[in-house]
Amino acid sequence: MALACIVDVAGERLSADEKAFFRATDPWAFILFGRSCVSPDQMRALTDEMREAVGRDALIFIDQEGGRVQRLKPPVWPQFPPCLDLRIEGAHSVIGNRAFSSDPDIVAALGRAAIAGLHAGGVASVIKHVPGHGRALADSHHGLPVLDTGLQGLAHDFAPFAALADAPMAMTAHIVYEALDAENPATLSATVIHDLVRGRFGFDGLLMTDDISMKALTGTSPAKAWAAISAGCDVAMLCNATLEDRLAFVAACPELSGKGLERAQAAEAVARKPAIEIDIEAAWARFGALTGHDRKTALSLGYDPTENR
């Protein structure tokens, strides 16, 4: 049975130690960063190795939020922003051009379209960073953002996540929302997860943590993984860690079972097969008609559909 965790890899191909590690521990899924994304052929070989190591067609995630966070880059891959966090004036720039818009209705509409497109192509979507990272005044990679905004103000940030609560997966924010839980960031907060995300939003998909190696969370990787899963996350994720750290981390993660396993299997089903045969040329022609940007421009410079909003 796969463990309730997601781990990354060190480079362009698996080392012998990584192959042995994955074979012995069987993490549920993997995630790729830029160091592992050189070319389509290289990535196909790498992902084949990863799946062979665990002996199944494991999900492989990629940190592809668009804007300033994009691992598959132009000119080979297009650049679009897919986060549901709002672009909020005066907040930290960490979200920035990863966001669709500052308007929650626009974010929800574009997010819905992005999810539909991903699923049609056989790619399972992850909405992030629930319940909303856009208002943060600090970068959670480097410290813990604390928001003292009241619930009425936060409702603005929460709206896109509530609207898209039928997504198959979501990723938590390492942020303290004092109006909900003054002690714990969302990733480690049973109150945020059970009362807000599962309760008020009605989200019943798989809930994963953001990278627990980020400085917003303190403590050891095993302790943070256990705390997140105890709070209600289905799966913990560790990135940019040594092999030794990854070994300690997976040892703290339980096997996927019960509702968490059901949610994982439902997410896997989304990614099994493209729902349609995609005519790439026709799709780009449609894109150009809607946006006024041709394929060459989108692939060479990147394209931000919110640039004029």
Residue 48 predicted with pLDDT over 90: yes
The catalytically annotated residue of 141, 148, 166, 294 is: 141
CATH architecture of the domain 3-301 equals Alpha-Beta Barrel (3.20)
Residue 161 predicted with pLDDT over 80: yes
Q: To which residue do tokens 């897919």 refer? A: 82
Write out pLDDT tens, residues 213-236: 999 999 999 999 999 999 999 999
User: How far is the first Cα of the chain from the last one, in angstroms, to the nearest whole number?
Assistant: 47
The whole-number pLDDT of residue 226 equals: 97
Structure tokens at 158: 């929460």
The catalytically annotated residue of 8, 26, 210, 234 is: 210
Write out pLDDT tens, residues 12-41: 999 999 999 999 999 999 999 889 988 889
Q: How far apart are CA 3 and CA 305, in angstroms?
A: 38
For the question of residue 92 being annotated catalytic, the response is no
Residue (of 179, 120, 192) closest to 151 by Cα position: 179
Domain ranges of the chain: 3-301
The whole-number pLDDT of residue 95 equals: 66
The whole-number pLDDT of residue 282 equals: 86
In DSSP terms, 62 is beta-bridged to 32
For the question of residue 57 being annotated catalytic, the response is no
Residue 302 predicted with pLDDT over 70: no
pTM for this predicted structure: 0.89
Write out pLDDT tens, residues 188-204: 999 999 999 999 999 99
Write out pLDDT tens, residues 86-128: 777 765 666 666 677 889 999 999 999 989 988 988 899 999 9
Residue with the bigger pLDDT between 279 and 52: it is 52
Structure tokens at 199: 């309760």
Residue (of 244, 256, 252) closest to 223 by Cα position: 252
